[in-house]
Chain A
Amino acid sequence: MRKTSCLLFSALMFLSMKLMAQTPFHYLSSEPAQNKTMKSEQTATYAPVPKVVTPGKTPGAAPSDAIILFDGHNLDKWVSDKGGPAGWTVSDGVLTVKAGAGTIQTKQSFGDCQLHIEWRTPSPAHGEGQERGNSGIFLQSQYELQVLDSYQNKTYVNGQAGSIYKDSAPMVNVCRPPGDWQSFDVFYTAPVFNEDGSVKSPAYETVLQNGVLIQNHVAIKGKTLNTGIHYYAKHGPLPLALQDHGFPVSFRNIWIRSL
């Protein structure tokens, strides 16, 4: 009898442990009784040890584990989205859209990442609304973070600089004037799909523009579309892309950390 009970007990314990491992964390709303008899060592973990990354010397500088996508010299890491070399202009350490040359994208594909990119819209400003210093950064070639001269330039809020285009307006408008360099720091979680193509978890994006939070862990609704409701189509890792919208928008200091 004792043996059978023990066996049964073990089996059930095993089952419940397994279940616990699979179920989400349960938040306690009062102090658990066992806390009174615990020791501090019981809640200390020693592995895995976070790997060492040397931060950049100055704010905005690439840390040691970053892939430098553009360091001011050349477009070796980029191609045209139609194949062939990336045809934008590199001059004085700056990359500028060559109108008509089309979208450029990285040779490498990415999933979850931290991205740093600096951009500048032309000065003096020309045009109004979307027709003023328009470009864009496409995470995984799918989801556009809008680049636009939104300094004293009205347009639809889900299409202004820092919007996840036609999805999520920025929390604030923290644009610098045209001609000034601006930065985006992006923390991006790629969407995860089930076998049948349905969304297991959506893409998430957090963005700081010029050091100020403008997108706060936003769940992206789907691939960017200018017309129509956004929707997801199953994909894996994909390149980062920059948009040619016909305006000579410039970029510099582009680096990415695969997470």
Chain B
Amino acid sequence: MTSKRFWDWFIFPGGVWIALLFAVPLFLVLALSFGHVDDFGRGVYGFSLDNYKDVFDATYVPVLLRSVGYALATVILCLLIGYPVAYFIARYGGRYRYALLAALVIPFFVNYLVRTYAWVALLADQGLVNNLLVDWGLAESPIQMINTPYAVIGGLVYGYIIFMILPLYGSIERMDPSVIEAGKDLYGSPFQTFLHVTLPATQAGILAGCVLVFLPAVGDFVSAQLLGGPDTYMVGNLIQDQFFAASNWPFGSALTVVMMLFLAVWMVFYLRRASKGEAEVL
């Protein structure tokens, strides 16, 4: 009993940290979302629902849908690319396993904004990729790659794929390889074995990866801003514009709150599934 009390105290440093630097600012965002803008363009706290009425204005619906659509496409692509990578490293990486993982993680030490700019340079009309295509005769003239929805989704996939690979790696690595052998012993083809044995056994990692990619991808604004075209405006861009161009912090806060609630639904769904399946959570 005494020792349990002693250990309980350890929650304090982290708890105070979370309270001051996370809960309080979050509360201020929530409070400001009911506020309005004064004549100087400053946000003033208040008790009005006007901002929330505006959030559900028909204008913003396509922006929200587009953001969710891009994020879903990102999740699917990350899963299709990430699963074989994680599978290979976990099962056949051998002694290079950690070196391979490090090679995947190291690029993510570089700031996301800088990495996205690199894609602009690579994919530009006069960029490296287009120059090679034209030089090798694969294209007659430069292909427009940036300023398209594909480029935005590509940027998101590149930006967040590590959040898919790491949990997948974790669950594939922890999977008992003998279950695959058992599947084959039961005359399962490689594909059937994968579908009925490997996939269910690594379900927790898939779920974790999908949620971890989806959440930041919905709210992203960098990819659309740097790689996007005239029709790639995302909710992250909308929120950023409220703070920095429109000087309308209260409306920006309301958008943020609504988006957080929307994402929280997914988070709760994930946590429930994860705890139900008594599987490992990253």
Do A and B come from the same complex? no
Binding site for B on A (CB under 8 A): none
